[in-house]
Amino acid sequence: REMNLWSRLAHPNVLSFLGFCFFKFPNESPAGDPGQLSLISPWMDNGTARQYVQEHPEADRLAITRGVATGLLYLHKNHIIHGDIKSGNVLMTDNGVPVLADFGLATLAEDDSLGLTNEHVTTTTGTSHGTPRWMAPEFFQTDADSQKSTKETDVWAFGCFVLELFTLQVPYATSKSDINAMAAIMQQRLPYECPTDQVPYPFVRHSELWHLCLQCWAFDPPSRITVPDILQYLRN
């Protein structure tokens, strides 16, 4: 299913799908076993967005943020919810362009324009709803079993991605385990805490991006900024 969805996407800020193969592990695949299905994309020497800015301190983080937002807008316009936005799923091309990757948790909004059906898919990178520290608080409510990934949950995770890009820390960095981080989310604590009237030091030169994060982290999902408004905000 991931292959079916991914192969229909074409955008400069979405990792290209090249094809698939069956990979056999030496001495592990029994006779007649075709091997493990593997999806093929271009190789990204620059690694993830976080690795890239660590190795290239001069990188334009605002441009990277804008590129990811542009790719996310493309997905949402095609009624696709990514479901696992984080720096580990943003790869950097040779030209320093960010591309969204890993569509194993992607789902379709009800008004699907690609003619696909929703099936439940998980990856090794997280739960069926994403990676815990990047997950929106509605996934941790009492009726969370019925909670689906939405554009609003993507927006929450996008704010966490921006946080990673500028602080080089994961969300809820002071929580030593994912369990502690999930407890913090249920207590409605923000992914990065500081006094309400202050801007965290990593955002001092880009205070507007800290305020963007806060708009992504509204605990009431309908109150969160939308992706079109994120792009307009970044352009301004």
Asked if 162 contacts 213 with a C-beta cutoff of 8 angstroms, the reply is yes
Query: Could you give the CA distance from residue 72 to residue 33 in angstroms, rounded to a whole number?
Result: 37
Residue from 27, 48, 151, 35 nearest 90 by CA: 48
Secondary structure class of 217 (helix, strand, coil)? coil
Q: Which of 33, 45, 60, 84 is catalytic?
A: 84
DSSP state of 134: G
Measuring CA to CA, how many Å separate 19 from each of 4, 7, 22, 38, 41?
Answer: 10, 8, 11, 9, 7
Nearest to 76 by CA among 64, 86, 68: 68
Clarify whether 197 is annotated catalytic: no
66-79: string of b/e by CB count within 10 Å (b at 16+)?
bbbbbbbbbbbebb
Among candidates 185, 119, 117, which has minimal Cα distance to 157?
Answer: 185
Catalytically active residues, by annotation: 84
